[in-house]
């Protein structure tokens, strides 16, 4: 035993002796007292509340011991626009919470904390509150959806070998069911090489496969003039306007006559196999390629009659303008063209990109849809209606994608010369699955008769399929779904739809001739204002179809970050119901097909 232990021992013995003498044979113990305890349990851990005032309740069970004080419930973390009515247990063992969300409640998922307390002790439970988006589908008709989907090719030195490199590409293209596929020949794809010689090799390497698919009726856009007709900046010289008209007429002779034409070198050129082309676009983006509105109108009035006089075996149709559409460019061109055009016009075209800068956040790209795309289509249509002969001319959007930028000299951005070019993946990422359906719906309802993807075979910024491998991107499946569910012709009646959060979710519903209804729900909600190719914000949508009557079956097809680009989405069957609840976990789109 150490020294400290020996010193402490007498004191311990003394204390024991005192305890024995005062208490008899054994020590006394205090009476036991039950501790005050509360346990709170909620009937569910997650609750969906529609923003239409519908009450949604959750039960609360309380186990309370050691006290006779009443128990009250409180809730923290409620978002604005959501109210809660509390039924506290008091002295009972159960209570409940009833939530109602008004139309001002921002959609999303909120982490609430429910607390049960008797004033002394408390217990908490977590509740995930989902403020849904309500899409109410009505029975009224709001016009006709008659917008066809298509895609584009650019025969050129770097592009013409696509079909040769990818033998399955023709079948992949055909499954899109595109109409009037756009062919924009530039660079080596321009067949007239100089004032005397022609070579259609690169051009026909793309034209021939395209002629074999879809409606077999491409739009051949005569985008640029042969190089010898241009100035040092690649712009068509006014002194060569007639030469350009002759060039266009020879293209008609080549494709649309069996005899073809003979060039200045004495060589005869005739397309084989003979398969005429009906639709022709006259020049590409004149507003950024050196032509004023007056210049372009004069050129158009010269070219179209020259082509009509070329002896085509089929009547020709012509697409005018094909503007690079931004700022106030339509205002610069439409009044002059509408006033002064004398040649036939069968469609007026324009091009829309949401950005020309990879640094622009997702919010900026989405804003362009309603701030530029829609009002510009409406403006173009209003200008055409000012002249009776043009009033029924359709507006086609013959180029559309997320970002128009491309690599310039020394790897720099063509749109932003001081910035290094970086591929914008939003053209093929899940962002596209929220963006393109939104664009399609908005433009279709604004009156655009066509929406073209730019372009079919390219990279992750532009492509529907990869140029090198022919493998599809997510963008391919999105465009294929739009064409499949909203085919035009025949088109379908647009039925009324009202969405409680139109800034986040786009809804488009149509009724087909067979009585089936297709409802498209696109989630384009941005998770954070600074997101650039972000994941998007999850949204739960309650689709109210009660006004349409009953249906025997419902199929759902979703495209989002979970979609396998190699194989595409898979359709599933879901139970028919007057109110269908579905969740998109970020940028994406889902299609519901309701059959009577």
| Domain harbouring 549, CATH code | 2.60.40.1180
Evaluate the omega torsion of the peptide bond into residue 455 and state whether it is cis, within 30 degrees of 0: yes
Over residues 350-369, the pLDDT tens digits come to 999 999 999 999 999 999 99
* Position 154 in a domain: yes
pLDDT in the model for residue 298: 98
Least confident of 3-12, 351-360, 581-590: 3-12
Mean pLDDT, range 205-212, rounded to an integer: 98
Inter-residue contact 305 to 342 (CB < 8 Å): no
Q: Which two tokens stand for residue 320?
A: 């005018």
Q: Are residues 429 and 556 in the same domain?
A: no
DSSP per-residue codes, 132-193: -EEEEEEEEEEEEE--EEE-EE--STTTTTHHHH-TTHHHHHHTT--SS-EEE--GGG-SB-
- What stretches of 255-374 adopt beta strand conformation (E)? 261-262, 268-269, 279-282, 317-324, 347-355
Mean pLDDT, range 535-545, rounded to an integer: 98
pLDDT in the model for residue 29: 45
Q: How many domains does the chain have?
A: 3
Over residues 454-508, the pLDDT tens digits come to 999 999 999 999 999 999 999 999 999 999 999 999 999 999 999 999 999 999 9
C-alpha separations of 566 from 1, 8, 558 in Å: 81, 83, 15
Over residues 378-400, the pLDDT tens digits come to 999 999 999 999 999 999 999 99
Q: Are residues 481 and 343 in the same domain?
A: yes
Q: Are residues 418 and 459 in the same domain?
A: yes
pLDDT in the model for residue 439: 98
Q: Rounded to an integer, what distance in angstroms lies between the CA atom of residue 590 and that of residue 520?
A: 6
State phi, psi for 24 to the nearest 5 degrees.
Answer: 80, -145
Q: Which residues pair with 555 in a beta bridge?
A: 573, 593
Mean pLDDT, range 558-566, rounded to an integer: 97
Over residues 227-257, the pLDDT tens digits come to 999 999 999 999 999 999 999 999 999 999 9
- Residue 133 predicted with pLDDT over 50: yes
Tell me which residue of 364, 462, 476 sits closest to 405, measured CA to CA. 462
Q: Are residues 428 and 509 in the same domain?
A: no
* Position 24 in a domain: no
- Please, which pLDDT band fits residue 35 given cuts at 50, 70 and 90? confident
Q: Are residues 207 and 225 in the same domain?
A: yes
- Please, which pLDDT band fits residue 22 given cuts at 50, 70 and 90? very low
* Position 8 in a domain: no
What's the whole-number average pLDDT of the chain?
94
Higher pLDDT, 588 or 11: 588
Q: Are residues 270 and 403 in the same domain?
A: yes
Q: Are residues 482 and 572 in the same domain?
A: no
- Domain-terminating residue out of 472, 491, 510: 491
pLDDT in the model for residue 34: 53
Q: Rounded to an integer, what distance in angstroms lies between the CA atom of residue 329 and that of residue 7?
A: 102
* Position 6 in a domain: no
- Domain-terminating residue out of 72, 99, 131: 131
Q: Rounded to an integer, what distance in angstroms lies between the CA atom of residue 221 and that of residue 248?
A: 10
Alpha-carbon Rg for the chain, nearest whole angstrom, is 34
21-57 b/e (C-beta count within 10 Å ≥ 16 → b): eeeeeeeeeeeeeeeeebebebeeeebbbbbbeeebb
Q: Any idea what the CATH number is for the domain that residue 370 is in?
A: 3.20.20.80
pLDDT in the model for residue 311: 97
Mean pLDDT, range 170-186, rounded to an integer: 98
C-alpha separations of 359 from 354, 424, 533, 536 in Å: 12, 9, 10, 17
Domain that holds residue 62: 37-131
Helices (H), 201-268: 201-211, 241-256
* Position 11 in a domain: no
Q: How many CB atoms lie within 10 A of CB 303?
A: 24
Mean pLDDT, range 445-462, rounded to an integer: 98
- Domain-terminating residue out of 427, 459, 491: 491
Q: Are residues 158 and 56 in the same domain?
A: no
- Residue 102 predicted with pLDDT over 80: yes
Q: How many CB atoms lie within 10 A of CB 539?
A: 27
Q: Are residues 424 and 284 in the same domain?
A: yes
pLDDT in the model for residue 33: 45
């Amino acid at each position: 035993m150490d020294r400290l232990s020996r010193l402490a021992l007498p004191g311990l013995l003394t204390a024991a002796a005192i305890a024995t003498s005062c208490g008899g044979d054994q020590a006394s113990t205090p009476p036991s007292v039950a501790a005050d305890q509360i346990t709170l349990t909620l009937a569910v851990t997650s609750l969906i509340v529609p923003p239409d005032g519908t009450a949604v309740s959750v039960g609360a069970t309380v186990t309370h011991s050691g006290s006779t004080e009443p128990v009250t419930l409180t809730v923290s973390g409620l978002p604005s626009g959501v109210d809660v009515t509390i039924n506290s247990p008091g002295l009972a063992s159960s209570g409940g919470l009833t939530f109602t969300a008004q139309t001002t409640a921002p959609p999303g998922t909120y982490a609430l904390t429910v607390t049960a307390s008797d004033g002394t002790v408390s217990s908490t439970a977590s509740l995930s509150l989902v403020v849904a988006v309500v899409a109410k589908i009505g029975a009224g008709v709001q016009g006709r959806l008659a917008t066809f989907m298509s895609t584009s090719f650019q025969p050129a030195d770097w592009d013409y070998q696509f079909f040769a490199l990818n033998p399955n590409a023709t079948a992949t293209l055909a499954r899109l069911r595109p109409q009037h596929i756009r062919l924009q020949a530039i660079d080596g794809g321009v067949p007239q090489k100089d004032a005397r010689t022609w070579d259609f090799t690169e051009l026909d390497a793309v034209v021939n496969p395209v002629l074999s698919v879809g409606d077999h009726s491409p739009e051949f856009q005569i985008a640029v003039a042969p190089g010898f007709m241009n100035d040092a900046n690649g712009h068509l010289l006014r002194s060569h306007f007639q030469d350009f008209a002759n060039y266009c007429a020879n293209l008609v002779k080549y494709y649309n006559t069996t005899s073809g034409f003979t060039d200045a070198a004495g060589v005869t050129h005739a397309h084989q196999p003979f398969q005429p082309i009906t639709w022709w676009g006259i020049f590409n983006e004149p507003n950024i390629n050196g032509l004023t509105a007056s210049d372009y109108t004069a050129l158009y009035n010269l070219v179209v009659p020259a082509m009509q006089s070329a002896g085509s075996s089929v009547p020709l149709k012509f697409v005018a303008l094909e503007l690079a559409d931004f700022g106030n460019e339509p205002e610069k061109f439409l009044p002059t063209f509408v006033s002064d055009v004398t040649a036939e016009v069968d469609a007026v075209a324009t091009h829309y990109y949401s950005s020309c800068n990879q640094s622009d956040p997702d919010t900026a790209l989405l804003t362009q849809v309603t701030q530029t795309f829609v009002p510009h289509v409406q403006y173009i249509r209003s200008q055409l209606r000012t002249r009776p002969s043009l009033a029924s001319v359709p507006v086609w959007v013959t180029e559309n994608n997320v970002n128009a930028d491309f690599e310039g000299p020394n790897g720099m951005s063509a749109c932003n010369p001081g910035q290094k070019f970086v591929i914008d993946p939003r053209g093929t990422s899940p962002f596209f699955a929220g963006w393109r359906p939104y664009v399609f719906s908005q433009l279709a309802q604004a009156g655009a008769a066509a929406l073209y993807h730019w372009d079919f075979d390219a990279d992750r910024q532009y492509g529907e399929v990869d140029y090198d491998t022919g493998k599809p991107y997510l963008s391919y499946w999105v465009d294929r779904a739009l064409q499949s569910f909203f085919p035009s012709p025949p088109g379908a009646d647009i039925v009324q739809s009202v969405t409680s959060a139109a800034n986040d979710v786009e809804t488009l519903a149509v009724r087909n001739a067979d009585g089936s209804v297709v409802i498209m729900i696109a989630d384009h909600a941005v998770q954070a204002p600074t997101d650039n190719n972000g994941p998007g914000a999850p949204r739960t949508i309650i689709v109210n179809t009660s006004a349409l009557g009953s249906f025997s079956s419902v199929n759902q097809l979703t495209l989002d970050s979970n979609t396998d680009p190699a194989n595409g989405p898979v359709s599933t069957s879901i139970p028919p119901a007057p109110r269908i609840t579905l969740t998109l976990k970020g940028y994406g789109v889902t299609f519901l097909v309701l059959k009577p």
